[in-house]
Amino acid sequence: MPTAPSTPRLALGVLAAGMLMTVLDGSIVTVAMPAIQNDLGFTPVGLSWVVNAYLIAFGSLLLLAGRLGDLVGRKRMFLAGTGIFTAASLLAGVAASPAVLVAARFLQGVGSATASAVGLGILVTLFTEPRERARAIAVFSFTGAAGASLGQVLGGVLTDALAWNWIFFINLPIGAATVLVALRALPADRAQGLNAGADVLGALLVTAGLMAGIYAVVKIEEYGAGSAHTLGFGALALALLAGFLLRQAKAAQPLMPLRILRSRDVAGANAVQMLMVAALFSFQVLVALYLQKVLGYGASGTGFAMLPAALVIGAVSLGASAPLIARFGERNVLLTGLVLLVGVLGLLARVPVHASYAADLLPVMLLAAGFGLALPALTALAMSGAREADAGLASGVFNTTQQIGMALGVAVLSTLAAARTETLTKAGRPVPEALTGGYHLAFGVGAGLLLLALVVALTVLRPTAAARTRQLTTA
């Protein structure tokens, strides 16, 4: 058992700060991409690697990092990951060539995976009382839900007021402070030791499989979904991951004990999250592109236009999600959040070329409150079946499905939008109208993914979670 620190709220603040850095880094870059391209001379294809290098490292290492946290110590992994991320941010900020920036982004992904994979594992062992855990998860989820929108605001302001380098330099004081406070605030957990699950072959199989899969997905837009490149790397990824699962079923000390996937709540929550995150890529990124390319907003204007979404997500995550989960249960709160998010993408699928912010976009930003309901409920469900010894692994699995969903969203929805835009342009439509038509298709497909997530939540997740929570709060 870990020794609880004297200030658990400080420990929660440290974990939230670590998560915030990771989430901000994922979204803050998107607004600064044009400035980075102009300054460092990236080609259009090369520029995609500013995002892809981070996604590949982050997504492929989360599962391994989560399990290593259980084996060598979750606090140790959090400190190491935060340190690597902070040092890589310095390298990214001073990068003077595309190669250096891409390498720094890969290292940032390594550090983010190492730190964030164990964050939830530390949290659920630190807060064991259900109501306190619900509140802690709400705070932790807020950093993930609202941080993406805040990153766009901050990225626009820093890029316009200073330079793109400062989107990386801002991580330095935050990272240093996080490490210093974490040394005192985080619990000193008792590691199981590598002998409890040092499956080297399994680690190689899952890391290589996830890396090949994410690489195939993020390059779909460049090569096409049916290309030999995509199908070849996709087949390689499936073969490696199938080999990993077979290895885990037979290994005496598996890297990922398959018992963690036997819980319907855990498996269902991860499936719902993958679909939800894939769908909401169209909100986080394509709305920003619509604002800039169709409506003519600048970087700062785009960030501030997205700010109401961040505010309502934060308000709902911190103020409403925990008491609602305690009253109605995780499943019902999740379903409500998903319904609101279907409304978000449904409205966006009809947004006009000459939109009014107040009439056409502000309602969309306010309905984004559904994310503040859905994510804390999903997080609680995904961690509900984890034993203390597997908390880091469960955290790593949850973060991995999030990154896979994000990569799928980037590849599929952006490819569909680009193809539809090209078709409309060839048909003689004006550029703003063609772009809007492409975004409409992506938003519509995203709404379909959310409806599928609703079906999974209704059929797989158990309604008994609500009854169990009610009993705990009324006892």
263-290 pLDDT tens trace: 777 788 888 988 998 888 767 778 888 8
What six digits make up the tokens of 287? 């709305």
Does residue 259 register a pLDDT over 90? no
How far is residue 175's CA from residue 153's CA, in Å, rounded to a whole number?
A: 20
Kindly tell me the burial class for residue 4, based on how many C-beta atoms sit within 10 Å of its own C-beta (0-12, 13-18, 19 or more): middle
**The pLDDT of residue 75:** 84
Average pLDDT in the 382-408 region? 71
Does residue 412 register a pLDDT over 50? yes
**The pLDDT of residue 193:** 57
Does residue 470 register a pLDDT over 70? no
**The pLDDT of residue 119:** 76
Of 12, 129, 125, the closest CA to residue 69 belongs to 125
387-398 pLDDT tens trace: 665 666 677 777
427-455 pLDDT tens trace: 989 989 999 999 999 999 999 999 999 99
Does residue 186 register a pLDDT over 60? yes
Q: Report in angstroms the alpha-carbon separations of 450 from 17, 38, 93, 186, 416.
A: 29, 36, 37, 36, 17
Phi-psi region of 251 (alpha: psi -120 to 50; beta: other; left: phi over 0): beta
CB 125 within 8 A of CB 392: no
Q: At what angle do helices 49-72 and 74-93 cross, to 10 degrees?
A: 160
> Scanning the structure block, which residue is given the tokens 């993406």?
148
**Percentage of residues of the chain with pLDDT beyond 90:** 15
Does residue 337 register a pLDDT over 90? yes
Does residue 2 register a pLDDT over 90? no
238-256 pLDDT tens trace: 898 888 888 877 777 776 7
Does residue 197 register a pLDDT over 60? no
DSSP assignment, residue 188? Answer: B
Model pTM score:
0.74
**For residue 237, how many C-alpha atoms fall within 13 Å in the half-sphere facing its CB?**
17
Q: Find residue 3's DSSP bridge partners.
A: 188
Does residue 195 register a pLDDT over 70? no
Q: Report in angstroms the alpha-carbon separations of 323 from 175, 328, 469, 475.
A: 32, 9, 11, 15
Average pLDDT in the 181-195 region? 72
**The pLDDT of residue 449:** 94
Q: Report in angstroms the alpha-carbon separations of 96 from 39, 51, 78, 165, 440.
A: 9, 17, 29, 10, 38
How far is residue 307's CA from residue 296's CA, in Å, rounded to a whole number?
A: 17
How far is residue 111's CA from residue 78's CA, in Å, rounded to a whole number?
A: 9
DSSP string, 2-23: PBPPS-HHHHHHHHHHHHHHHH
Does residue 191 register a pLDDT over 80? no
pLDDT bin (cut points 50, 70, 90) of residue 299 is: low
**The pLDDT of residue 306:** 81
Mean residue pLDDT of the chain comes to: 79
Q: Give 205 or 194, the one with higher predicted confidence.
A: 205
How far is residue 298's CA from residue 161's CA, in Å, rounded to a whole number?
A: 12
Name every residue whose Cβ is closer than 8 Å to that of residue 81 and which is 6 or more positions away in sequence: 18, 65, 110, 111, 112, 113, 114, 115, 116, 117, 118
Average pLDDT in the 409-423 region? 82
